[in-house]
Amino acid sequence: MANTTSTIRDRAKNRMSELPSTLTDTAIVEFVVDVIQEFSNYSGVTIDNTDISDQYMPGLTNWTVLYMLSFMTGAGVDFSYSLGELSVTKSAGSSTNQQQLTYYENSVNSFLKNFGRKFSTTATVYG
């Protein structure tokens, strides 16, 4: 059976102990689609949402969990998130949430380092 955005959604949900009612299955699939697009933009790898290779599943799932944790801990507090070398900052919240964010942030960074960054084949030479 092929891996899909719903497969990643289900795996991500299984890694969470509790989910707020505002974090619906539809919202999580939207996170998955965003994660796949961001990874594709970063790596140059094209991923079909209905046939996701096993090699990408752990990284894409962890990245989705990071989105979910960011959503859950970011409501109503100072919070920042960036993708280049993936940085997550939160000014308030429990140390458990921060530990989870740090774990998944490190996991996603490792995933991205394994695939590297795409580079354009076009060059401009001066001189």
Counting the structural domains of the chain, the total is 1
Residue 106 lies in a domain: yes
Name the residue range of residue 21's domain. Answer: 5-115
Residue 126 lies in a domain: no
What pLDDT does residue 120 have? Answer: 45
Say whether pLDDT at 5 is over 80.
Answer: yes
Residue 23 lies in a domain: yes
Residue 15 lies in a domain: yes
* pTM strictly above 0.75: no
Residue 127 lies in a domain: no
Q: How many Cβ atoms sit within 10 Å of the Cβ of residue 88? A: 19
Residue 125 lies in a domain: no
Mean per-residue pLDDT, 18-37: 91
What pLDDT does residue 8 have? Answer: 97
For the stretch 40-85, pLDDT in tens is 988 888 999 999 999 999 999 999 998 898 888 764 444 455 555 6
How far, in Å, are 4, 52, 64, 107, 127 from residue 24 at the CA level? 17, 22, 13, 24, 56
Confidence of residue 119 (pLDDT cuts 50, 70, 90): very low
What pLDDT does residue 35 have? Answer: 93
End-to-end CA distance of the chain: 55
For residues 3 and 51, the answer to whether their CB atoms sit within 8 Å is yes
